[in-house]
Structure 1
């Protein structure tokens, strides 16, 4: 892990880990609401029941959050996890009626809570690109020795 990635990984890792832990106990309407939004954006998720979906999402967030906090996990790998998580949230944002203003990419008041997660996509891409570019520079230096 590049030391410059530490602040980003710590902040996002703690947030995502906490989000996953909070979802471990989701039941009833809360689990159904979460599942309903996700299944509306990704129809194959309808095959899962709401509690199972909530547990899987919780586990995914716990895994990504933990990986971000562990410096031995390569930044490109945790960046890919963030990109997947953020991409899924952006899919929900684009597919769910009422989250965006009519004919616009701008969020409505209810859509802001999901639209703000676009930072996960940006952070994921940043970690991937920086890690790959940094790795490429190290390989070039080794060849020139």
Structure 2
């Protein structure tokens, strides 16, 4: 019976893990080729919400961001990584990007959670939060 549950869990998780994992892999690869202006723009944007990020070199910031995205991609795409671990990594990252969305001026319509045109790119990351929480829940259920 446990074997049937395990296969069902893998089948349920596969579309979630492949979708989010390939998204993170693509994002990490694109940041590897970031020029100085792109690196500075990304760092300045992140530092408006998380000021401690502005204290390091912009290229180092982008390399660390890319490395974290590679790590999340690997956790999602490598099937031996438990769902709770992959889900926790994805959830933590998505909470950070949603923090950018909620706390950066101009991302939301005044007095609302609805995104402005500029905020759509971050607001859509709520799906990553949903996938992360789903993986955690599935992993916890599989452990019981």
- TM, length-normalised to structure 2: 0.90
Q: Which residue of the partner structure matches residue 115 of structure 1? A: 123
1:44 aligns with 2:52: yes
Unaligned runs of 5+ in 2: 1-5
Counting matched residue pairs gives 136
Per-residue deviation, 1:33: 1.2
Inter-partner Cα distance in structure 2 for 1:94 and 1:73? 31
Q: Tell me the residue number matched to 2:94.
A: 86
1:125 paired to 2:133: yes
Q: Which runs of 4+ in 1 moved over 3 A?
A: none
- Give the secondary structure class of the aligned counterpart of 1:113: helix
SS of residue matched to 1:94? helix
CA RMSD of aligned residues (A): 1.1
Q: Find the aligned partners of 1:123 and 1:7 in 2 and give their Cα distance.
A: 10
| TM superposition score normalised by structure 1 | 0.90
Structure 2 counterpart of 1:99, from 103, 107, 125 = 107
For structure 1, list consecutive stretches of 5 or more residues without a partner in the other structure: 137-145
**2:40 corresponds to which of 15, 19, 32:** 32
Q: CA deviation at 1:29?
A: 1.8
